Amino acid sequence: MNLKTASQKSFILKTILNLADVAVHMVDGDGITRFYNLAAAEMDGMKPEDVLGRHILEVYPSLTLESSSLLQVLKIKQPILDRQQTVVNRAGRTVIMSYSTYPICYQNEIIGACDISRDITRIKELSEKLLDLQAELLGKKYNQQKKEAGLKENLTGAGYTINDLIGQNSKIIELKVLAQRVARSNSPVLVYGETGTGKELLVQAIHNAGSRSSGPFIAQNCAALPATLLESILFGTVRGSFTGAEDRPGLFEMADGGTLFFDEINSMPVELQGKLLRVLQEGTLRRIGDSKLKKVNVRVVASTNIEPLDAVKKQQLRLDLYYRLNVVSLQLPPLRERPDDLQMLVCFFIESYNEKFGLQVQGIGSAVRNIFDTYNWPGNVRELKHCLEHAMNIVDGPLIEEKHLPAHITRGLRPPAGSGSGVNLSRGLNHALKQLEKEAILEALEQSAGNISSAARRLRIPRQTLQYKLKSYGLPQDGEGMITRA
């Protein structure tokens, strides 16, 4: 065989494998990638040139000699067949794959290994939807019980999955990986995130990714109801326990076998938090007015919109309940800390509203892009979504322009007419820059209610750096971590 023929055969083989709809990843005997087709690149969210010629553990640093099927096959010299795995790829997408890994032998010597994978995410989602429909058809009696409880507004299904967490920022990808792992267990979870970051979306995704996905998902906002009503809703009542009381199950009983989500747990009355703690510790409850204990099997997930330890210091959250809930701790980053996700979110929401409203909007104009990059997004992803929904209702062309944005988004981004740049240059550029920095610090502190840690996150600088700048500007401190405007 001459070189030309060998090159042609190699080219034909690579072309065929790149046209295949299965992912093919081949390494040599040293674990160095020698072939990696386009389907594999798409599944992993990478480019072939980022993988070819590199060791498998260099490309996938989370793997080990024991957890890599390719390296294991090189070691044991036997195929690993028909395995399933869920991963979060480099693009931030959760992928469910079915794979088999085979040794490659030449003259009775192993010279490499080949992994053949198929993306079955969509198939898995469709099969789970079919199971949900079957459960719905078989669960009329259960739904009737919920209706009789008079709590329909508090009982919601879990419609989001981990793939609904849109973003490729490293914090979001790490959060997806953690959420996927957390979903396997039944331990309590405490989620912290500012308003609008998507706390309930994350909790629903954890529920749907775990073994309790076939069970009920019930969410209750602890700030929405007074203590007396909230207690009866949580634990249920027996007839005659108080005027007008009926035999009604509480949310814990209704969530049996599933997940119960307490949103803004720091808004729950402290005395009621003590009763909640007993249920978490003992797995039993007593309806109001009842003498009998009922056993429940519920996974409890709670969230706060302020830092949990700050809630403990402010006596909004019992310390013992914090320790009981904080078995697993997850934090959702605010939108200002993930600017690389902004354009992806904009495209996602525009596409969603195009489908909903029957429009063909192509994107945002350059002026809007600059405004979005400058704006601080105190309402986070929810604010961005509502901003784009407002624009999509009044847009009159292929692009969203500044005139289509809500007034509060553009207000304050420019100096008033006739004021020039709004910067006093009479004492030189350095002084003007320091004045702007000082104003930015004061504004961040005001938006953070004086909390240094929160202000530092808004400014995207370390807390220690902010403390140094406060001292250098002579800004007074009021208590631990609290600042007042001078």
* pLDDT tops 50 at residue 483: no
pLDDT of residue 244: 47
Question: 81 and 57 in contact (C-beta within 8 Å)?
Answer: no
Tokens of 294: 């009922």
Q: What is the pLDDT of residues 353-396, one digit of tens each?
A: 999 999 999 999 999 998 998 888 989 999 999 999 999 999 99
* pLDDT tops 60 at residue 16: yes
pLDDT of residue 120: 83
pLDDT of residue 156: 45
- Please give, one letter per residue, the 3-state secondary structure of the chain: CCHHHHHHHHHHHHHHHHHCCCEEEEEECCCEEEEECHHHHHHHCCCHHHHCCCEHHHHCCCCCCCCCHHHHHHHHCCCEEEEEEEEECCCCCEEEEEEEEEEEEECCEEEEEEEEEEECHHHHHHHHHHHHHHHHHHCHHHHHHHHHCCCHHHCCCCCCCHHHCCCCCHHHHHHHHHHHHHCCCCCCEEEECCCCCCHHHHHHHHHHHCCCCCCCEEEEECCCCCHHHHHHHHHCECCCCCCCCCCECCHHHHCCCCEEEEECHHHCCHHHHHHHHHHHHHCEECCECCCCCEECCCEEEEEECCCHHHHHHCCCCCHHHHHHHCCEEEECCCHHHCHHHHHHHHHHHHHHHHHHHCCCCCEECHHHHHHHHHCCCCCHHHHHHHHHHHHHHHCCCCEECHHHCCHHHHCCCCCCCCCCCCCCCCCCHHHHHHHHHHHHHHHHHHHCCCEHHHHHHHHCCCHHHHHHHHHHCCCCECCCCEECCC
pTM of the shown model: 0.67
* pLDDT tops 70 at residue 135: no
Dihedral sign, Cα of residue 471, residue 474, residue 475, residue 480:
positive
* Confidence label for 88 from pLDDT (cuts 50, 70 and 90): confident
* pLDDT tops 80 at residue 256: yes
Q: What is the mean pLDDT of residues 134-139?
A: 52
Q: What is the pLDDT of residues 180-219, one digit of tens each?
A: 999 989 999 999 999 999 999 999 999 999 888 888 898 8
Q: Which of 8-17, 40-49, 50-59, 111-120 comes out lowest in average pLDDT?
A: 8-17
CA angle, residues 408, 416, 418, in degrees to nearest 5: 160
pLDDT of residue 417: 43
Between 85 and 311, where is the model more confident? 311
Percentage with pLDDT > 70 across the chain: 84
181: left (phi over 0), alpha (psi -120 to 50) or beta: alpha
Q: Look over the chain and give the mean of its residue pLDDT values, rounded to a whole number.
A: 83
Percentage with pLDDT > 90 across the chain: 46
* Confidence label for 75 from pLDDT (cuts 50, 70 and 90): very high
Cα–Cα distance measured from residue 73 to residue 120, given in angstroms and rounded to the nearest whole number: 23
Cα–Cα distance measured from residue 197 to residue 407, given in angstroms and rounded to the nearest whole number: 22
Between 462 and 114, where is the model more confident? 114
91: left (phi over 0), alpha (psi -120 to 50) or beta: alpha
Q: What is the mean pLDDT of residues 430-447?
A: 79
Cα–Cα distance measured from residue 368 to residue 93, given in angstroms and rounded to the nearest whole number: 27
* pLDDT tops 50 at residue 273: yes
pLDDT of residue 297: 93
* pLDDT tops 80 at residue 81: yes
Please list, in sequence order, all residues whose beta carbon lies within 8 angstroms of the beta carbon of residue 269, skipping any fewer than 6 positions away: 227, 230
pLDDT of residue 482: 39
Q: Which of 47-61, 134-148, 177-191, 439-453 comes out lowest in average pLDDT?
A: 134-148
* Confidence label for 447 from pLDDT (cuts 50, 70 and 90): confident
* Confidence label for 72 from pLDDT (cuts 50, 70 and 90): very high
Amino acid at the residue 78: Q
What's the number of CA atoms in the CB half-sphere (13 Å) around residue 410?
12
* Confidence label for 438 from pLDDT (cuts 50, 70 and 90): confident
* pLDDT tops 80 at residue 448: no
Cα–Cα distance measured from residue 279 to residue 285, given in angstroms and rounded to the nearest whole number: 6
Tokens of 408: 């509060």
CB-neighbour burial class of residue 448 (10 A; exposed 0-12, middle 13-18, buried 19+)? buried
* pLDDT tops 60 at residue 124: yes
Cα–Cα distance measured from residue 129 to residue 157, given in angstroms and rounded to the nearest whole number: 13
Q: What is the pLDDT of residues 298-324, one digit of tens each?
A: 999 999 999 999 999 999 999 999 999
* pLDDT tops 50 at residue 146: no
Tokens of 333: 């980053």
Question: 251 and 151 in contact (C-beta within 8 Å)?
Answer: yes
Q: Which of 49-58, 391-400, 402-411, 419-428 comes out lowest in average pLDDT?
A: 419-428
Tokens of 123: 């198939």
pLDDT of residue 261: 95
Question: 481 and 310 in contact (C-beta within 8 Å)?
Answer: no
* pLDDT tops 60 at residue 142: no
pLDDT of residue 315: 92
Question: 281 and 273 in contact (C-beta within 8 Å)?
Answer: no
Q: What is the mean pLDDT of residues 339-346?
A: 94
